[in-house]
Structure 1
Amino acid sequence: MQISQIRAAVADAARTVTMPAGTAKLTCTGYVPDAVTAPHFFVGEYAVEFDKAMRRALDEVELTCRVLVGRSDDKAAQAVLDGLLSGSGPSSLKAALEAARGAPGEAALGGLAHDLHVTRIQGYRWYEHQSIQYVGAELIVKVIGDGSS
């Protein structure tokens, strides 16, 4: 798996969420941005476990993604964030990301991986990015795929 391509494809999948009426469109990057246009989803840190199967047949990547929402109104910002973190619905990041798995038997992320799964949400709190405060959380995404490519 090519990590940069995987990160970009995850950001592309996140971009498909439908934000609530009156909310700005979700901006997404497959990398940690210098500056954030809220609400913003990005793929941050990652860990790779190589050789989960013999002969480089399978690697596992755990991506730590973040979603940050502006805090002009703390209650409204948290309501938007809660929608993005829901397990289902039009603004659910989990649903949008897992839709990129493809149909049964198809490769995930447009052929870049075997499969992906949003495993958990963590770190629901205030984040500071470039000296600006946002309410946000982390999504942990597990991606598995061919280690020889």
Structure 2
Amino acid sequence: MDIFTVRAGIASAAKAVAMPNGIAKLTSTPYLPDAPTTPHFFVGDYSVDFDKTMRRGLDEIEFTCGVVVSRSDDLSGQKLLDRLLSGSGPASLKVAIEAARGAPGEAALDGAADDLRVTRVQSYRLYEIAGVDYLGAQLTIRVIGDGST
């Protein structure tokens, strides 16, 4: 798997969320931006388990992604973040990202990986990015794919 191609595919898939009326469209990048435009999803750090099967047949990558929203109004920011972190619904990042799995038997992320799954939400708190505080959380995404490419 080409890691940056996978990161870009995840970021692209996240953009499919349907934001509530009156809320700006979700911006998304395959990296942590210097100054995000909120609401913003980004693909952050990752760990790789090589050789899950013999002869470079399968690698597993665990991405720690982030989503941040504005703190201009504490309650509305938390409501929006809760919608983005929900396991279902039109604003669910889990639903949007897992839609990029493809149909049964198809590769995920337009062929960049074999499969992916959003497995966890954690670290719901304030994050400082370039001196600005944002409300945010982390999502863990597991991706599997051919280790020889």
Tell me by how many angstroms 1:114 deviates. Answer: 0.5
Q: Which residue of 2 aligns with 1:57?
A: 57
Matches of 2:128 and 2:76, distance apart in 1: 18
Where does residue 117 of structure 1 map in the other structure?
Answer: 117
TM-score (norm 2): 0.99
Q: TM-score, normalised by structure 1?
A: 0.99
In the aligned structure 1, how far is the partner of 2:94 from the partner of 2:23? 19
Structure 2 gap ranges (5+): none
Detail structure 1 runs of 4+ shifted over 4 Å in the superposition: none
2:133 aligned partner: 133
Partner residue, 2:6:
6
Q: What amino acid sits opposite 2:31 in the alignment?
A: Y
RMSD: 0.4
**What is the SS of the residue equivalent to 2:105?**
coil
Aligned length: 149
> Deviations 1:73-95 (Å, cap 9, x if unpaired)?
00000000000000011100000
Give, in angstroms, the shift of residue 34 of structure 1: 1.2
Q: Which amino acid aligns with 1:84?
A: L
CA–CA distance in structure 1, aligned partners of residues 71 and 56 of structure 2: 45
Quick one: percent identity of the two aligned structures? Answer: 64
2:42 alignment counterpart: 42
Q: Which amino acid aligns with 2:138?
A: E
SS in 2 for 1:97: helix
How far, CA to CA, are the matches of 1:104 and 1:132 in structure 2?
A: 42
Cα distance in 2, alignment partners of residues 146 and 76 from structure 1: 42
Q: How far apart in 2 are the matches of 1:94 and 1:76?
A: 21
* Runs of 5+ consecutive residues of structure 1 not aligned to the other structure: none
